[in-house]
């Protein structure tokens, strides 16, 4: 068979979804032998066919990628889109070929179809290949042709940019406007509703008109059409964007209860968090207790953050007494180890032991996956770290000063590593000197100061680097002031820190992460006579919508 005959045969069987493995194996062997005579259309059709029937013949895909690389200048928009789609579906990353595909696609996007455009975007996003030139070109072409986009095209494009964490203001605004317009109906499009909602939340884009349109479309869609993942993604997105549509929440909660026995732990936890975050009512007091009981049945291998999320809900909704077994296991697996590890850092008798205990905390955090202890248990963690959880008048002043200095478009931005803002005031004194701070706002900042001071308040790593967190920057600044006060400019001779007395008041716009709690424990260890009070908010609950300052563009990172 000639190369075109092989391609046509594979395409015909794939088109009618016939997965005949012996036939496709024979086609693969023949195609590799005849590869030099294959043109871009044949290559794209064979690749598309194998991807469609989900046969991963890696030797064939490798040979095709090499041949495509050599003949890339002959590829048109259709062949480019189909070949990229096939590589991503088959999970075959050939870096040189993908770079060549991207460079070639940039020159021909305007000549292709809407489907070619969205398939290309999807393919590179699926493979997590962030080619900024290609993405910029796709964004420009999407904006130009967006009147022709259907619900599916809009959701695929938004999903692709969200997966790659690329926020193009003009593109995302155009997608939101088109999706919310009267001419675009998402009713009945369960996958598109879920994907577009998720994408907007991930990109921190809160558009009321769009959210109203999506919630209305969801209500016009039979809830039985939503998969468990789609339902979870939708309600999670609405919670992340702080948009409560009570009829939709009720419908999702009802649907979730009907299929609770099928749900995996992650979907259970995300749904519970979203319903709780949006203030979903539970008149019969059955939704959350049932979720907690089901979690115990499927919690093998669950992450520590899942336990923390559900335990916080149980405490806040006064459900702990109804789920005693859940609370016992949570305290044993997560809460007690976390508090003990923080306490051991605080009481470390020398620097070597401090570093050893920090490593123990680092290892435990990575193993159990505990990025924070949530709004309910951070107070307990502060006590273990040697600080006091404060809820007093000074925190109101701090909150007002932080709000005056920081704005974010939605809560999802406000809980990111870059979005949490701190405020600190202090009075420190020791024989021969004193230092005073009346109240300063601190933003996240990854730049480091003198290395010996940085090492005295070491962060730990959890998914992302946390050394630049605003709370740590505040405490590092105050520690540096204390060292200057006692006349120390190196790590030697810092014993006089123990004699420093006074107070520090620290406020954070969101509850502290596990790394900042470890920093608090190190700070109180160094300055045992300094009274440290810490106040914090829960940005998911306290965020309120404010006007975006003129000329501002959201550029902060996402939460970890």
**pLDDT band per the 50, 70, 90 thresholds, residue 560:** very low
* Helical packing angle, 58-70 and 21-33, nearest 10°: 40
515 found inside a domain: yes
pLDDT band at 555; cut points 50, 70, 90: low
User: How many domains does the structure of the chain reveal?
Assistant: 1
Q: Please, what is the Cα angle at 253 between 248 and 259, to 5 degrees? A: 125
Phi then psi dihedrals of residue 465, to 5 deg: -70, 140
In a 3-state reduction of DSSP, which class is residue 441?
strand
From CA 235, how far away is CA 274, in angstroms rounded?
6
- How much is the pLDDT for 558? 43
Q: What is the pLDDT of residues 104-148, one digit of tens each?
A: 999 888 888 999 999 999 999 999 999 999 999 999 999 999 999
Most confident of 159-168, 283-292, 333-342: 333-342
CA nearest to 425, candidates 382, 459, 475, 390:
475
Name the phi and psi angles at 440, rounded to 5.
-130, 140
- For residues 535 and 391, is the Cβ–Cβ distance under 8 A? yes
Cα–Cα dist 361/433, whole Å: 35
The C-alpha atoms of residue 356 and residue 362 are separated, in whole angstroms, by: 10
Q: Which of 75, 28, 72 is nearest to 51 (CA)?
A: 28
Over residues 474-502, mean pLDDT = 80
Q: pLDDT, tens digit, for every residue of 191-203?
A: 999 999 999 999 9
Q: SS3 of 433, please?
A: strand
Domain-embedded: residue 4: no
Q: Which residue has the higher pLDDT, 551 or 353?
A: 353
Evaluate whether residue 56 is within a structural domain: no
In DSSP terms, 536 is beta-bridged to 508
Residue 439 belongs to some domain of the structure: yes
Tokens, residue 552: 């501002």
pLDDT in tens, 401-456: 998 888 887 888 888 888 999 999 999 998 778 889 999 999 998 887 778 889 99
Q: What pLDDT does residue 557 have?
A: 44
- Dist CA 487 CA 367 (whole Å): 41
pTM: 0.86
Are 87 and 127 a contacting pair, CB within 8 Å? yes
- CB count, 10 Å around CB of 6? 23
Query: Which helix (H) or strand (E) covers residue 250, if one does?
Result: helix 246-258
Helix axes 228-240, 265-277, angle to 10 degrees: 30
Q: Residue 274: which pLDDT band, with cuts at 50, 70 and 90?
A: very high
Does residue 370 form part of some domain?
A: yes
Q: Is 263 a domain residue?
A: no
pLDDT > 70: percent of the chain:
95
Give yes or no for a contact between 81 and 123, defined as CB atoms under 8 angstroms apart. yes
Q: What is the pLDDT of residue 552?
A: 61
Query: Using an 8 Å Cβ cutoff, are 194 and 162 in contact?
Result: no
- Tens digits of residue pLDDT in 454-484: 999 999 988 888 989 999 999 999 999 998 8
Residue 282 has pLDDT above 90, yes or no: no
- The conformational region for residue 57 under phi > 0 = left, psi -120 to 50 = alpha, else beta, is beta
**Cβ atoms of residues 102 and 137 within 8 Å:** no
Residues facing residue 436 across a β-bridge: 427
Phi-psi region of 318 (alpha: psi -120 to 50; beta: other; left: phi over 0): left
The candidate with the shortest Cα–Cα distance to 4, out of 45, 33, 32, is 45
Measure the CA angle with vertex 518, ends 310 and 402; round to 5°.
80
**pLDDT tens-digit map of 366-410:** 999 999 999 999 999 999 999 999 877 899 999 999 988 888 878
- State which residues form the domain around 364: 340-542
Q: How far apart are CA 144 and CA 157, in angstroms?
A: 14
At residue 489, the pLDDT reads 52
Q: Is residue 54 part of a domain?
A: no
* Structural domain contains residue 249: no
């Amino acid at each position: 068979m000639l190369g075109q005959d092989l391609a046509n045969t594979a395409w015909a069987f794939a088109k009618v979804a016939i997965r005949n493995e012996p036939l496709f194996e024979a086609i693969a062997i023949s195609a590799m032998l005849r590869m030099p005579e294959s043109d871009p259309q044949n290559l794209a059709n064979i690749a598309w066919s194998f991807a469609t029937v989900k046969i991963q013949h890696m030797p064939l895909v490798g040979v095709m990628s090499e041949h495509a690389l050599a003949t890339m200048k002959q590829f048109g928009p259709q062949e480019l889109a189909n070949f990229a789609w096939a590589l991503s579906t088959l999970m075959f990353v050939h870096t040189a070929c993908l770079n060549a595909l991207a460079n070639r696609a940039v020159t021909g996007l305007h000549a292709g179809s809407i489907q070619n455009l969205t398939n290309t975007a999807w393919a590179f996003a699926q493979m997590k290949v962030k080619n900024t030139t290609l993405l910029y070109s796709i964004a420009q072409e999407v904006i130009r042709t967006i009147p022709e986009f259907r619900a599916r095209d809009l959701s695929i494009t938004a999903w692709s940019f969200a997966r790659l964490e690329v926020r193009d203001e003009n593109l995302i605004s155009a997608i939101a406007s088109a999706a919310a317009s009267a001419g675009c109906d998402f009713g009945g499009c369960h996958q598109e509703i879920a994907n577009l909602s998720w994408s907007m939340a991930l990109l921190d884009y809160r558009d009321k008109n769009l959210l109203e349109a999506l919630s209305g479309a969801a209500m016009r869609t039979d809830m039985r059409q939503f998969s468990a993942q789609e339902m979870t993604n939708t309600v999670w997105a609405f919670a992340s964007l702080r948009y409560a549509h009570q009829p939709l929440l009720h419908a999702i909660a009802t649907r979730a209860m009907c299929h609770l026995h099928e749900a995996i732990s992650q979907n259970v936890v995300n749904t519970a968090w979203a319903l709780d975050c949006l203030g979903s009512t539970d008149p019969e007091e059955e939704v959350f207790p049932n979720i907690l009981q089901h979690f115990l049945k499927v919690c093998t291998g669950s992450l520590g953050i899942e336990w923390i999320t559900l335990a916080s809900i149980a405490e806040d909704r006064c459900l702990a007494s109804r789920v005693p077994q859940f609370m016992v296991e949570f305290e044993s697996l997560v809460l007690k180890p976390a508090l003990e590890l923080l306490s051991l850092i605080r009481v470390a008798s020398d620097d070597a032991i401090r570093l050893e205990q920090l490593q123990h905390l680092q290892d435990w955090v990575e193993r159990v996956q505990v990025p924070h202890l949530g709004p309910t248990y951070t107070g307990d963690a502060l006590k273990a770290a040697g600080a006091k959880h404060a809820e007093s008048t000074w925190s109101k002043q701090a909150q007002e000063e932080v709000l005056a200095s920081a704005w974010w478009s939605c809560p999802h931005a406000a809980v990111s590593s870059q979005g949490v803002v701190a405020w600190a005031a202090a009075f420190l004194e020791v024989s021969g000197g004193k230092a005073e701070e009346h109240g300063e706002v601190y933003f996240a900042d990854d730049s480091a100061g003198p290395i010996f001071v940085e090492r005295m308040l070491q962060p730990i790593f959890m998914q992302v680097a946390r050394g630049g967190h605003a709370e740590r920057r505040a405490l590092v600044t105050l520690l540096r002031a204390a060292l200057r006060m006692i006349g120390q400019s190196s790590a030697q001779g810092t014993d006089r820190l123990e004699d420093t007395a006074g107070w520090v008041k620290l406020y954070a716009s969101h509850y502290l992460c596990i790394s900042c709690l470890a920093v608090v424990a190190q700070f109180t260890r160094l300055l045992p006579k300094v009274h440290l009070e810490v106040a914090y908010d829960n940005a998911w609950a306290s965020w309120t919508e404010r006007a975006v300052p003129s000329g501002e563009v959201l550029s902060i990172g996402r939460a970890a």
